[in-house]
Amino acid sequence: MIHATRNHRRHGWLATIAVTLAAIAAPVVASPVEVVIEADRPGATIHPNVYGQFVEHLGRGIYEGIWVGEDSSIPNTRGYRNDVLAALKDLRVPLLRWPGGCFADQYHWRDGIGPRAQRPKRVNTSWGGVIEDNAFGTHEFLDLAEMLGAEVYVNGNLGTGTPREMAEWVEYITADGQSTQAELRRRNGRDKPWRLHYFAIGNEAWGCGGNMRPEYYVDLYNHYATFVKAPEDNQPKMIASGGHGDMTEWAEAISSGVEPNWSLRLDGISHHYYTLPNADWEKKGAALGFDEAAWFATLRQTLLMDDYIVANKEVLARNDPDGKYGFYVDEWGTWYDTEEGDNPGFLFQQNSLRDAVVAALNFHIFHDHADRVHMAVIAQMVNVLQAMILTDKEKMLLTPTYHAFHMYRPFHGATTLPARVRNAPEYRHGDGAIPGISVSAARDTDGKLQLALVNPDPGTPLTVHVAVQGGAVQRASGRLLTADAMDAHNSFAQPQAVRPRDYSVEAREGRLAIELPAKSIAVLVVE
């Protein structure tokens, strides 16, 4: 697949864009963008897990957001709230990561098993200093993933745990037979082992996970991972915790310093990158009520994801030319200033059309790098950062980001296809410019041709002519997400303000003319 975003940066197509000074000054009527899908040139498969989700013991992400307990007046199934469960099932969550994040390195799994009334109460020193009563633990998490049909990603505690504690956790989850851990699990109500798909050794070791140097972490990875053992048919893929943003030294140290052998495995290196409108941790920017400068800055910041993946892929191409290691972007998304009046440690933020556009641009980047990026996990699923779902006690709403994830479901497991883009516009604001369209095409697992288009420009609608190389096109149909305001969002008073609408267009003379509104996302089946 060819991504228009990358074409601009890497192949110098800017030179082909006819943007005259007059066109900038006058109301813009852009000439049609030409897209040709090369349906006969399949590329890499998009791993469904690039649409992964993250739940951490953070704010109302789990407690209230997912888990309310069996005695709650909020309708629930064995403690999980029904409205959230239904929405997540419909989303087809492919992968769930837990328990952190930073919290992973303070979490001792034995606190979260056994009768809930007897579980210890700890201070959540990572997030908000609140009491963690451990009502949601290993069983609650793994049962949730099972109900959703999601693969499971457990993040081990390297920061404050021991190799023995880590090894026994994996044994507790995966062991059949009569071992003490397996019997303990049975006494706690679960007979058969759960399937464990991924296991990580620590989180953000460069920061909240222990403020380590990469070389020190590599030694610890080798040490701890050696003792993570599971039955042959239930071996988790092993993840080393990598860098953030423009860092490449972590991928470098891990891919050159871990040497898998019969007693040590490595399958993926994680990476985190958050989109802050102002690129400033002290003053990140507001979730709502922002101007076009903030809209533009946010999109420009988010497109850096592509550069960071490219830089790390270059490292891996040198140290792992056979492509044994996946590059897992296991935390990404927008991070704004927290809502006033809320506990700043809860990272609760509203979510607008801008977040949906951010999500779609990142999906296209992940599709573009499907050969190496086999997992991406947005932070986080409910009530935290760029969430799918927000709750207020018994109330619940789906965010624009939820709708973006929902629209892209056909891309789970799809095969990428190149899309040639001609006459691609730029979106300019102030002194800056970013690509004015992002295109991603793929053949889905049902054999249908999927086309996703993003118009990031809040002021310029586009006409996009689409053709399929070597084949006639009859129609395109699917869904379109847009709104009048840049910060259009769903509130508990108006939970349906932003939602996708149906869109279809018939071809004329073998070509589609898709009208793509300003600031919009379209996901269409092309027939």
Residue of the chain from 2, 37, 56, 97 that contacts ligand AHR (CB under 6 A): 56
CB of 197 to ligand AHR, least distance (A): 20
CB of 330 to ligand AHR, least distance (A): 9
Cα distance between residue 95 and residue 270, in whole Å? 15
Cα distance between residue 81 and residue 64, in whole Å? 8
Residue of the chain from 96, 287, 379, 454 that contacts ligand AHR (CB under 6 A): 379
Residue of the chain from 2, 50, 88, 102 that contacts ligand AHR (CB under 6 A): 102
Residue of the chain from 101, 202, 326, 517 that contacts ligand AHR (CB under 6 A): 101
Cα distance between residue 104 and residue 30, in whole Å? 49
Residue of the chain from 64, 168, 171, 204 that contacts ligand AHR (CB under 6 A): 204
Cα distance between residue 165 and residue 158, in whole Å? 10
Of the pair 182, 379, the CB lying nearest ligand AHR is at 379
Structure tokens at 86: 């239904």
Q: Which of 171, 204, 340, 426 is catalytic?
A: 204
CB of 103 to ligand AHR, least distance (A): 6
Judged by CB under 6 A, the chain residues 312 through 351 that form the site for ligand AHR are: 331
Question: Which residues does 286 contact at the CB level (< 8 Å), separation at least 6?
Answer: 277, 294, 336, 337
- C-alpha dihedral sign at 357, 359, 360, 364: positive
CB of 220 to ligand AHR, least distance (A): 17
Question: Which residues does 84 contact at the CB level (< 8 Å), separation at least 6?
Answer: 65, 66, 382, 389, 391, 396
Assess contact for 163 and 227: CB atoms under 8 A.
yes
Quote the distance between the C-alpha of residue 19 and its chain's center. Answer: 34
DSSP code, position 119: S
Of the pair 51, 335, the CB lying nearest ligand AHR is at 335
Cα distance between residue 512 and residue 466, in whole Å? 5
Q: Does 203 bind ligand AHR (CB under 6 A)?
A: yes
Strands 237-240 and 268-275: parallel
CB of 272 to ligand AHR, least distance (A): 6
Determine the interface stretch with ligand AHR among 95-103, 115-123, 396-404, 504-512 (rule: CB under 6 A).
Answer: 95-103
Of the pair 377, 467, the CB lying nearest ligand AHR is at 377
CB of 268 to ligand AHR, least distance (A): 16
Instruction: State phi, psi for 464 to the nearest 5 degrees.
Output: -120, 115
Of the pair 1, 389, the CB lying nearest ligand AHR is at 389
Assess contact for 35 and 419: CB atoms under 8 A.
yes
Q: Which of 132, 331, 340, 527 is catalytic?
A: 331
Of the pair 246, 292, the CB lying nearest ligand AHR is at 246
Assess contact for 397 and 387: CB atoms under 8 A.
no
CB of 380 to ligand AHR, least distance (A): 6
CB of 379 to ligand AHR, least distance (A): 4
CB of 281 to ligand AHR, least distance (A): 10
Assess contact for 423 and 445: CB atoms under 8 A.
no
Determine the interface stretch with ligand AHR among 97-105, 177-185, 426-434, 507-515 (rule: CB under 6 A).
Answer: 97-105
Determine the interface stretch with ligand AHR among 282-290, 378-386, 441-449, 478-486 (rule: CB under 6 A).
Answer: 378-386
DSSP code, position 356: H
Determine the interface stretch with ligand AHR among 81-89, 94-102, 169-177, 451-459 (rule: CB under 6 A).
Answer: 94-102
Q: Which amino acid is at 196?
A: L
DSSP assignment of 366-405:
HHHTTTT--EEEES-SBSSSS-SEEEETTEEEE-HHHHHH
Residue of the chain from 79, 100, 214, 436 that contacts ligand AHR (CB under 6 A): 100
Assess contact for 374 and 47: CB atoms under 8 A.
yes
Nearest partner of 440 among 459, 456, 421, judged by Cα = 421
Cα distance between residue 427 and residue 516, in whole Å? 14
**Alpha helices in 432-477, H assignment, sequence order:** none
Quote the distance between the C-alpha of residue 164 and its chain's center. Answer: 31
Site string for ligand AHR, 158-197 (x = CB under 6 A): ----------------------------------------
CB of 101 to ligand AHR, least distance (A): 3
Of the pair 97, 367, the CB lying nearest ligand AHR is at 97
331 in catalytic set: yes
Residue environment code for 420-444, b if the CB has 16+ CB neighbours within 10 A, otherwise e: bbebbbbbbbeeebbbbbbbbbbbb
Q: Does 377 bind ligand AHR (CB under 6 A)?
A: no
| CB-based closest residue to ligand AHR | 101
**Residue count at the site for ligand AHR (CB under 6 A)?**
10
Of the pair 100, 517, the CB lying nearest ligand AHR is at 100
Cα distance between residue 79 and residue 117, in whole Å? 14
Of the pair 302, 438, the CB lying nearest ligand AHR is at 302
Determine the interface stretch with ligand AHR among 379-387, 396-404, 455-463, 478-486 (rule: CB under 6 A).
Answer: 379-387
Q: Which residues are catalytic?
A: 204, 331
Residues near ligand AHR, by CB under 6 A: 56, 100-102, 203-204, 331, 379-380, 385
